[in-house]
Structure 1
Amino acid sequence: MIGVSAYAERARWAAWDMPASVVPQRYLDKVLAAGGTPVVLPALPGVDGVLSRLDGLLLVGGGDVDPARYGAVPHRANGPVSAVRDAAELALLREALALRLPILGICRGLQLMNVALGGTLHQHVPDVVGHEGHAGGDGVFVRHDVHLHPRCILARALNRTTLDVPSLHHQAIDRLGEGLTACAWSDDGLIEAAELDGHPFTVGVQWHPEADAEVAVFSALVAAAAVPAPVVVV
């Protein structure tokens, strides 16, 4: 049972146009294809209370994390932020860490993980790397290679150290949060994945595996979630 964080957005369908909890279907499909059961977690106060009934957490992509949460002034290229979503996902992350649940963060999910642990973000990647090769525009994925450290969790799970990945982001990790170790990089040196030291499976990736045909990254999360939690004797 994998909890999947949701967007809090205004949405339109049929005759309706109103606030909604939204998750792109491809995230749910990939969790299901990997052998898990997705459970949508809306961005509501107290939603983290359900995590004790689940086996893992997926923090999906989306809009920019509020730069005030890491002490920065907003960049002119930033999009709108959602205080409601930031708060709900940070609470989910902290509770999942306390419960030692397996966690996978995708794009925004990795960035949120880094901020929650005291790290900072590059607010506009082209300013750092000098090109637009990490995003093709609104809703357009580009592809590029990432190189994984051979001893990282994902490299062992995927049995590969180079991946051709779909990418769509304008922000990325700058200073790593406490306990995080970078474990994948693009050719221009940008951090593309990180994992949390001393935790069985807390992994974030900057690319979008939900947009790929294969399910290997999600299979790694589901496999970690299937491992029984240790019994604590009081």
Structure 2
Amino acid sequence: MGAPVIGVTSYVEQSSTGIWHDTEAVWLPDAYIAPVRRAGAVIAVLPEQDPALAADALARVDALYLTGGYDVDPAAYGADAHLRSDAPRAGRDAWEIALVREAHALGMPILGVCRGAQVLNVARGGTLHQHVPDVVGHDDYQKGDAIFRELGVSVLPDTLLASLHPLERDVPMYHHQAIDRLGDGLVVSARSVHGLVEAVEDPDQAFCLALQWHPEHDEPSAVWDAFVAAARVRVAR
């Protein structure tokens, strides 16, 4: 059996490196994909493009991995923008929402991290809290300057996540938005110490899990191996 191919979403932003200055580039911190690579998968980066091509893109991969990034445009879930919401990346939003819906229709394994959890929820008809400090009264979840804060989460028993992660643990956080109303078919699989939704999953899918925290900056987790194993099952089929 060949290695599964994981389709991974990415940024398209102005960047600078080497001789290239202020150049539009497809990029993604390696921390996002290193755990998937170590679990034995091949990585295929899926930068934003025409949403009508989502089915063609997913026909060539075995699982979908939704990575982090800027805020989902509130217009995608029928809300006005908060003053602290990022400038919209409408192209990325439309592309990734199309990927989620196509992957769901195919029963393809899906893993979301940070923004990826929010995209999954919005694609399934859910909404977001646009600024977590408005909900919890402090900014502990995103201190700024890419400084991750360790905060406690409680994983709900009898969930997929509970079979892959300790039920009580401090995890690295960096988000100022969070899931509000759940999308269709999703259930909560973890909450923070302040009651925020920190993980969701779809129990009717073979593997559909999204974490609001950053497991790529945490200790090695069984989540990565389970995700790649689900993709291997799809290869075998």
Q: TM-score range by the shorter chain?
A: over 0.9
- What letter corresponds to residue 77 of structure 1 in structure 2? R
Q: Following superposition of structure 1 onto structure 2, how do residues 96-175 of structure 1 map, counting pairs within 5 Å?
A: 96-158=103-165, 160-175=166-181
State TM-score, norm by structure 1.
Answer: 0.93
Pair 20,47 (structure 1): closer, same or farther in 2 beyond 3 Å: farther
Structure 2 Cα separation of the partners of residues 228 and 112 of structure 1 = 23
Structure 2 runs not aligned, ≥5 long = none
CA RMSD in angstroms, aligned pairs only: 1.5
Residue by residue over 1:4-56, the C-alpha shift from the partner in whole angstroms, topping out at 9 and shown as x without a partner, is 10111111112212111111111121111122221111111125412122111
Aligned residues: 230
State TM-score, norm by structure 2.
Answer: 0.92
Cα distance, 1:65 vs. partner?
A: 0.2
- What letter corresponds to residue 20 of structure 1 in structure 2? A
Pair 156,110 (structure 1): closer, same or farther in 2 beyond 3 Å: same
| Secondary structure in 1 matching 2:140 | coil
Residue by residue over 1:185-207, the C-alpha shift from the partner in whole angstroms, topping out at 9 and shown as x without a partner, is 01110000001131111111100
- 2:113 touches 2:212 (CA, 8 Å); kept in 1? yes
- 1:142 touches 1:168 (CA, 8 Å); kept in 2? yes
- 1:122 touches 1:173 (CA, 8 Å); kept in 2? yes
Q: Which residue of 1 aligns with 2:31?
A: 26
| Secondary structure in 2 matching 1:53 | coil
- 2:164 touches 2:221 (CA, 8 Å); kept in 1? no
Structure 2 Cα separation of the partners of residues 210 and 97 of structure 1 = 24
Cα distance, 1:220 vs. partner?
A: 1.9
Q: Which residue of 2 aligns with 1:65?
A: 72
Q: Which residue of 2 aligns with 1:42?
A: 47
Structure 1 Cα separation of the partners of residues 85 and 156 of structure 2 = 31
1:12 aligns with 2:21: no
1:223 aligns with 2:225: no
Residue by residue over 1:83-127, the C-alpha shift from the partner in whole angstroms, topping out at 9 and shown as x without a partner, is 111111111111111111100011111111111111110000011
- What letter corresponds to residue 19 of structure 2 in structure 1? A
Cα distance, 1:216 vs. partner?
A: 2.5
- 1:110 touches 1:205 (CA, 8 Å); kept in 2? yes
| Secondary structure in 1 matching 2:199 | strand
Q: Which residue of 2 aligns with 1:94?
A: 101
- 1:192 touches 1:205 (CA, 8 Å); kept in 2? yes
- What letter corresponds to residue 64 of structure 1 in structure 2? D
Q: Following superposition of structure 1 onto structure 2, how do residues 191-206 of structure 1 map, counting pairs within 5 Å?
A: 191-206=197-212
